[in-house]
Amino acid sequence: MSSPHSNPDLHGTRFGQVVVTVDLALGDCVVIAPQRAGVTTAPRKMRLNSLDEMRGAYAVQHRLARNAAVKHPHAAEIASALKFAGEQIADHERKKRT
């Protein structure tokens, strides 16, 4: 079985310009967000392997989104994607236990 991360266009969920793929079997996610690279913008992939990592990354992105002085253009979208992924994995783990 192939990973949903291998085809984010087909298996991903979009939040503005951010795409997240969730692999419920492994309990991980990959967030793809645009990032400035010199004079252009390039996609940056961030793989989070556990709910703890997702919670930590969510807290940072949520703080960046609320801080007007920092002006991170995609922080709110990344935070939404991480929240979605965390909820999906937590629900899946809860169902496995019952």
Three-state SS for 42-71 is: EEEEEEECCHHHHHHHHHHHHHHHHCCCCC
What is the count of structural domains for the chain? 1
pLDDT digits (tens, 9 = 90+) for 20-52: 999 999 999 999 999 988 888 899 999 999 999
pLDDT: which is higher, 80 or 8: 80
Residue with the two structure tokens 């087909």: 10
| Predicted local confidence at residue 56, as pLDDT | 97
| Predicted local confidence at residue 72, as pLDDT | 85
pLDDT digits (tens, 9 = 90+) for 44-83: 999 999 999 999 999 999 999 998 787 788 999 999 999 9
Instruction: Tell whether the torsion through CA atoms of 55, 61, 64 and 70 is positive or negative.
Output: positive
Q: Which domain holds residue 69?
A: 4-97
Yes or no: say if 96 and 24 are a contact pair by the CB < 8 Å rule. Answer: no
pTM, 2 dp: 0.90
| Predicted local confidence at residue 1, as pLDDT | 56
